[in-house]
Amino acid sequence: MTAQGIAPSPAKRLRQESSRESDHYHLPPPTFDLDVWVNNYEGFPPHLLGALLPLRLAHVAIHCPTLSRQAITLAISHAKKSKDVRVYIRLCDLAGQFGFADLGAPDLGWASKQEEGNKRELSRLEGELRGYKNNLIRESIRMGQEDLATHHLITGGPPPDPATVQSLGGTGYGVAYQAFGKMRDYCTTPTHMASMILRLTYTAILQAVSAQQQGSTARHHLDLVLSNCSRLRTCGVKEEEQVKLNPIAIAMSGIAHLGQANYHDAASAFLSTPIAYNLLGPVHNTDFGRAVASANDLAIYGGLCALATLSRQALIDRVLGGPFRAFLELEPHMRKAISLYTTAKYQACLDLLRRYYSDWSLDVFLGVPASSIGSASHVDVLSAHIREKSITAYFSSFSEVSLASLASTFPPISSSPMAMEEELLSMIDAGQLDARLDVVNGTLVAPRKDLRASTHEEARRAAEEVERTLLLRLHKVNVAMAGLEVPRSKTGVWEGHGQGNGLMY
């Protein structure tokens, strides 16, 4: 019942997309092994904050047919271990849509029992919280509030009530977010604040992922992630604690920027993430490295964003030569791709990126659509950026390149004969490529610049502009001095403009 209106959406999108010959839902199998991969994201403690894992697996199941069954089986078993009945039902539903009849039938007995237990637990926690509030002990209230919020988080929050209009945050994880937010009044030390903000950040990310998976926009939630990240950096805890918080704050803000398609900001966030993020372990009972994104993931995100947005020199200085290299060592193929790009081996670089396309598209942060319009995922957009940058960089050393040789270096994505030409045209139009196309000879020509003439032209324009401006201002002074201004209209205020404030402009 609760799954109504939510579960159909991935499948509905699935159908629409597949009819448009998009391959997002038919990715080839990735290079990693699913079981090993899942181990990276086992929550710690497993059932407390592992809510992202079923969503992750569902993402894999939706997008990769080969792994679909395995992923959904894992997801369901994980969901069943948790207390979130609705995620479980939704996953079973999904399995049914994929045609896995055996998995599609939910264990209703377990579900109702768990639901019952959740309700009992909820009323117990609420009762306790009321008691604490009567006793007016702040620390108890804070902990009671935290327990309540955590309960909401792991049970997926109260189900949407069909009788009332669904308000923002009125159901699901939104309730958990608000409950965590209520801790604020009872936080007495910066450490408490930090712990609360960490939970808020995590909840917001969870909300974002779940919203994206259900086909709605995650922008609002990502904004919350960003604001929580900046609060996390200035919450005033002791130096040694802050050192632990900073990597999380920076990395999560990077993920939020990535989700909002601000690749440049995302790149600079990831590049400045301290390597301490790796093996950081749980901070305030939350291990972001396991629950949200591992250091390996950050290496991929950062590497791709940097490759797509930074200049070659910045890549050499800040990425390969900077502290981010430590991350790249975790994912050597990413490092290799970047060094290939910096040494102008564009073809090899793009080939390498293509080989891992499937891996990255199965990531729950990279594989989601980059904008509400169109189905291109972040990986697609980033790859397109990198490709365009490569073409621009490749062309910069030539004055004329034939389209054929360009097409052999950068094989066009689509198979239409005009593909290369169209791609180049759109790049020229967007101002990324400073070149002209000679359609007749089939070449791309670099514009010849006559510096002297263009400087002359510029000077002439500037001088004309100065002359015009001077004349206009002279006119203004003369008119004012001669008292020849347009007089006040006699019929009162002209169409509501120029309220008589007693000042003559």
Partner 1 sequence: MSDLSAILSFPPDDVAKLTPKKYDDAINRYLQRIEKLPNTAWLRPVDKKNLLEMLNPEVNSIPYMVSLAGQIKAAGKDWTKLEILLNYAVIFLATFDPVQVRYVGATWLTVLDWTLDTLPQSSSCDLSIIASAMLRLDPTLGTFTSTHLRFLRICLEGGVPSHALPILDKNIYAMATTPPKLMADEFLCDDLELSNTYITLKSGFTLKIQPQYVLEYYLIGAHIYLGSRNYARARLFLEYVLLHPSIQHSISALQVEAYKKWVLVGLLAEGKPYPLPRTHDNAVMKGVRDVSKPYDALADNFIKRNLSKYRAEMDIGTQIWHEDGNLRLVKEAESALLRFRVMDLQKTFAALPIGRVAAHAGYPPDTTLQWVTEMIRQRQLRASITPNGNGNAGDAVLRFHHSTTSSSALADGDLAAQTQRIEALVAHVRDADRRLQLTKEYVEYTKRQKRSGPDAADMADQMDLTWENNGAGIMGSAGGVVGMDEDDGDEDIMGGF
Report the interface residues with partner 1, using CB under 8 A. 425, 428-429, 436-441, 443, 445, 447-448, 450, 452-454, 456-457, 459-460, 463-464, 466-489, 494-495, 497-498, 500, 503-505
Residues near 488 by beta carbon (within 8 Å), at least 6 away in sequence: none
Q: Give me the least distance between CB of 261 and partner 1, in Å please.
A: 25
For residues 283 and 248, is the Cβ–Cβ distance under 8 A? yes
Q: Give me the least distance between CB of 497 and partner 1, in Å please.
A: 5
Contacts for 335-339: CB closer than 8 Å, 24+ residues apart: 335/303, 337/303, 337/307, 338/303, 338/306, 338/307
- 21 vs 450, which CB is nearer to partner 1? 450
Could you give the 3-state DSSP secondary structure of residue 445?
strand
- 109 vs 502, which CB is nearer to partner 1? 502
- 23 vs 464, which CB is nearer to partner 1? 464
Q: Give me the least distance between CB of 402 and partner 1, in Å please.
A: 13
Q: Give me the least distance between CB of 419 and partner 1, in Å please.
A: 17
For residues 300 and 328, is the Cβ–Cβ distance under 8 A? no
- 120 vs 475, which CB is nearer to partner 1? 475
- 108 vs 493, which CB is nearer to partner 1? 493
Q: Which residues pair with 445 in a beta bridge?
A: 400, 436
What is d(CA 239, CA 262) in angstroms, rounded to the nearest whole number?
30
Q: Give me the least distance between CB of 427 and partner 1, in Å please.
A: 10
Residue of 317, 237, 329, 319 lying closest to 278 (CA atoms): 329
Residue of 306, 352, 292, 300 lying closest to 327 (CA atoms): 300
- 109 vs 483, which CB is nearer to partner 1? 483
- 413 vs 428, which CB is nearer to partner 1? 428
Q: Give me the least distance between CB of 46 and partner 1, in Å please.
A: 57
| DSSP category for residue 286 | B
Burial class (CB in 10 A: 0-12, 13-18, 19+), 108: exposed
For residues 156 and 173, is the Cβ–Cβ distance under 8 A? yes
Q: What beta strand segments (E) does 39-98 contain?
A: none
